[in-house]
Each structure stands twice: as structure tokens, then as C-alpha cells.
Structure 1
């Protein structure tokens, strides 16, 4: 009898969960829902804004809506740059930085310069790869946001003695993060 009641209770929660997903409209409501339903979870999905409408429509289709619910959408920006890091504890920055900039303007590739001059362990010829705002030091991100693709610029984080020569390699990429409540059968 005990197992029958547990089974019926589980069945009730599963049926109730898919019927009630459409009533959940916030992260807080989703977290409360998860406490009552062990087969529910919140996951995130990053979507570039050019695909946003497709995914919004897709999550409204019948085969999706019973198991998934977007409970929050948040705009975010991804950025990509290449950089050369100079450690202010180990050398005089301005002279070295001007030397690097001069060589770049004479046609030396930024990747080659990064391989020669960077003082950290970036093995990707200075390419930082795509990263979302809020991940790097605020001063670094703010400088990137204030420049366009192919701009070469300097960033100083003096309190840490971090100094950079930065090449913005791509335009910023506006995206959205979907916070999705899902119920797995």
C-alpha cells in the first residue's frame, strides 16, 4: 500500500507539473516549483539576437510547451578581442607598449606580436575568444565596449599593475539568455 501511495503521488506530481508550467512566470516561482518536483530544473540557453524570434516561437509549440517554460529572458553582450598583456611589476610599460604599437602599425601581425610580447600564458596568439559581459574586469570590458572592430587601444588596470594592448577583432554580439524550467519524464 505504501508503494502504491508513493507511485500515485509521483504520478500526480508529474501530471500536475506539466499542467502548471504555463503558470510559472519567474525564477522565484520556478525555484519553488523545483522544490516540489525533483524532476524539474532550470537551465540556460544563450541565443544570438538574430535567432531570438525563432526560439521564442519554438518554445510555444505544443511538443515543447508541456515540458519547458521560459521563466526569464535577459539581454547580454558577447565580445571578442586579442590582447598582449604586460606585467607592470616586471617592466616599464609605456616604452614597451609603444614599441608593440609601432610594430603593429608597420604591418607585423597582432598574433605574432602577442606570441613574442605577452607576459601571460595565452597560447592562442592573444585571441581571448568570445566572452560574455560581466566575466572580465570592468575596466577591461568598458574599454572594449567603447571601441569598434579593428581598433587598437590600450587598457590600464593600474591597481593590479595589469597593462594591455588590445585589438578588437569582432563587433560586439548582442545575445539573450533564456532561463528555462524543464520537467523531465
Structure 2
């Protein structure tokens, strides 16, 4: 039974995304809401609609129900369950992603760090799994070493610059001596433009 319910529900949900005119016309004044500030004013004017503004990001929110939204533009409106949604803003930002092993220069001399990094690189090039190496050597508590998607100026310049200069699959070292930070980095994804959508959600009640 469950095998057939999921595709059917998904089809209904995705089809509802395309009926934008009906969704927008069902709430008077919604067609005039085009920006986040206008949405905030709209929510104050119509508190019964229990409005909420939230964001989804293509690098994090990748469910089958959310994914079709990333091809939509500002103003796209749709209904689902008892809610109406409107896309208020679409941002696209160049983003990067890698895994790393951090070594604390306050605990080791530079010679010891270089020796450790040589050992890590040798193990990786001889077939060791990078996540297992992270779990063995990383010193900041991140057990996978995953940076998640990060955008320009989110990381220290030395780290970001090194990641930008390499391609997916490259393994390399990064030194930030002023902070006693030393890394072995594996670039895990090609650089990508990540989309972030700001949406207004309204409950379809009587005004």
C-alpha cells in the first residue's frame, strides 16, 4: 500500500505548484506583495493569515517537494495543503565545499604538523578513507570534516583561496600561521551557484 501512496501524493503536490493564478487570487492583495518588506507589512495588516517568512537553500533543502522551486522566479505563487506560498526573493551565490583535517599549531610544533600532514597525505594516497582520517586526526570535533556549502568571505582568506584554486578531488594543505591553524583539505564538490529562496507562507483563512 505505502509503495503506491508516496508517488501519488508527490504527484498531487507537484501539480499544485503550477496553479499559481488561483493561489494568488484566493487571497486579496497578495498579488501586490513583491518584496520582503511588503510581505512584512502584509502580515501585520492580516494577522489572521498567520504569515511567516522563511528561506530554503538548494545546498541544504533538496527534498522532492522543494527541489522544483529552485527553477522559479520572484512572484511565483502556489498552494499546498491549507497554505499559500509566494517566492519573494531569489539569490544565487557562488559556493564551495570540502572536507578538512585541522591540526592545532598551539599543540604541535610546525615540524610536527608537517610530519603529521605528510603521514595523512601518504595514507590517503595509499587508499585510506578521508573520513576515517578525519576521525583519527582532526582536532576541532567535526567528525566528518565537512565544511558544508560556504560562500565567499565566510572562511578565513587562506582557506577560501586555497579551496577556490583547486578542483574537485584535489587534496592539499593550508597554513594560517597567524591563528595557529593548519589543515589538510580534500575538495569534495565543484564550485556551484547555490540558490536561496525567501518565501512567504500564509494560512488560507478568511480575512
TM-score for both structures, normalised by structure 1: 0.71
The alpha-carbon deviation at position 157 of structure 1 amounts to 2.9
Aligned CA distance change for structure 1 residues 57 and 70 (closer, same or farther; 3 Å): closer
CA distance in 2, matches of 1:46, 1:40: 20
Aligned CA distance change for structure 1 residues 75 and 101 (closer, same or farther; 3 Å): same
* Alignment pair present for 1:45 and 2:76: no
Residue 122 of structure 1 aligns to a residue whose secondary structure is coil
- Contact 2:55–2:197 at 8 Å: present in 1 too? yes
Residue 132 of structure 2 aligns to a residue whose secondary structure is helix
The alpha-carbon deviation at position 129 of structure 1 amounts to 5.9
Superposed CA deviations along residues 27-73 of structure 1, whole A, max 9, x for unmatched, are 222222223232212111223698433x4599445x47x93221111
Name whichever of 98-107 and 160-169 sits farther off.
98-107
- The answer for the alignment partner of 2:160 in structure 1 is 141
User: Matches of residues 25-64 of structure 1 in structure 2 within 5 Å?
Assistant: 25-38=34-47, 39-47=50-58, 51=68, 52-53=70-71, 55-56=72-73, 59-60=76-77, 63=79
CA distance in 2, matches of 1:138, 1:75: 21
CA distance in 2, matches of 1:23, 1:57: 12
Q: Which runs of 5+ in 1 are unaligned?
A: 1-15
Aligned CA distance change for structure 1 residues 180 and 80 (closer, same or farther; 3 Å): same
Higher helix share: 1
CA distance in 2, matches of 1:67, 1:98: 56
* Alignment pair present for 1:113 and 2:122: no
CA distance in 1, matches of 2:148, 2:190: 11
Aligned CA distance change for structure 1 residues 179 and 57 (closer, same or farther; 3 Å): closer
* Alignment pair present for 1:73 and 2:90: yes
RMSD: 3.2
Give the total of aligned pairs. Answer: 165
- The answer for the alignment partner of 1:87 in structure 2 is 104
Q: Which runs of 5+ in 2 are unaligned?
A: 1-24
Task: Detail structure 1 runs of 4+ shifted over 6 Å in the superposition.
Answer: none
CA distance in 2, matches of 1:17, 1:30: 16
Residue 18 of structure 1 aligns to a residue whose secondary structure is coil
